[in-house]
Each structure stands twice: as structure tokens, then as C-alpha cells.
């Protein structure tokens, strides 16, 4: 079994919609979730420059606007080299490297 997190507002909206239809929330979510990528235009990858298929993350997300929550408190892309080095030093001290 897996869990999905929703904001309080989204959870309430799903709960209300499922209650109106008289079905469990998980059944409502599965019935209303577009599982076929062609049904959901926002997931279609735009072609890269020159009309070729997207090959990199930069190509895939080109022209898109939005935010993604990492679930963490810190900024994940700051001091990545230093963080990686610290992890390697720690592993070496533990004899795991």
C-alpha cells in the first residue's frame, strides 16, 4: 500500500466529491485520475528545438512555468558539491568507502 499527500483543501474537495457520489475516496480518485498520458495535455512533453523529441530534462521542461515541492525544508541545489564531499568523508571515516 502507498500513500499520497494532498493539501487540506484538495483532500476536503475529494472527500466531498466522493461522498456526493457515494463511493470511497480511493475509488473516486482512481476513477477521476487520467492514467493515460494522452488524456492529460499538461503531461505531454513539448518537442525540443527543431521539432525533435525531448532528450534532456531541460528540453522536457522548456517553456513550462510552475513550482515543485521537494518536501524538505532546505534548498536542494545549494552547496551540492560540499554536501557530497561531506558524505564521502563520513563514509570513509566509517570504513564504508
Overall residue count recorded for the chain in this entry: 97
Residue located via cell numbers 487540506: 8
What does the pLDDT read at residue 33? 78
- In whole angstroms, what is the distance from residue 37 CA to residue 65 CA? 19
Residue 25 and residue 32 in contact, taking contact as beta carbons nearer than 8 Å = no
Cell of 21: 457520489
pLDDT tier for residue 16 given thresholds of 50, 70 and 90: very high
What does the pLDDT read at residue 89? 92
Structure confidence by residue, pLDDT tens digits, 21-71: 888 888 888 888 766 544 445 555 555 556 666 677 777 777 777 666 666
Q: Which ranges of 22-72 would DSSP assign to H, the alpha helix?
A: 25-32, 57-61
- In whole angstroms, what is the distance from residue 70 CA to residue 76 CA? 8
Amino acid at each position: 500500500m502507498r500513500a499520497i499527500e494532498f493539501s487540506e483543501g484538495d483532500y476536503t474537495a475529494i472527500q466531498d466529491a466522493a461522498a456526493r457520489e457515494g463511493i470511497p475516496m480511493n475509488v473516486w480518485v482512481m476513477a477521476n485520475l487520467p492514467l493515460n498520458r494522452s488524456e492529460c495535455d499538461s503531461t505531454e512533453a513539448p518537442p525540443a528545438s527543431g521539432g525533435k523529441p525531448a532528450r534532456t530534462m531541460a528540453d522536457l521542461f522548456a517553456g513550462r512555468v510552475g513550482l515543485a515541492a521537494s518536501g524538505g525544508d532546505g534548498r536542494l541545489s545549494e552547496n551540492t558539491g560540499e554536501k557530497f564531499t561531506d558524505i564521502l568523508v563520513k563514509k570513509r571515516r566509517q570504513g564504508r568507502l
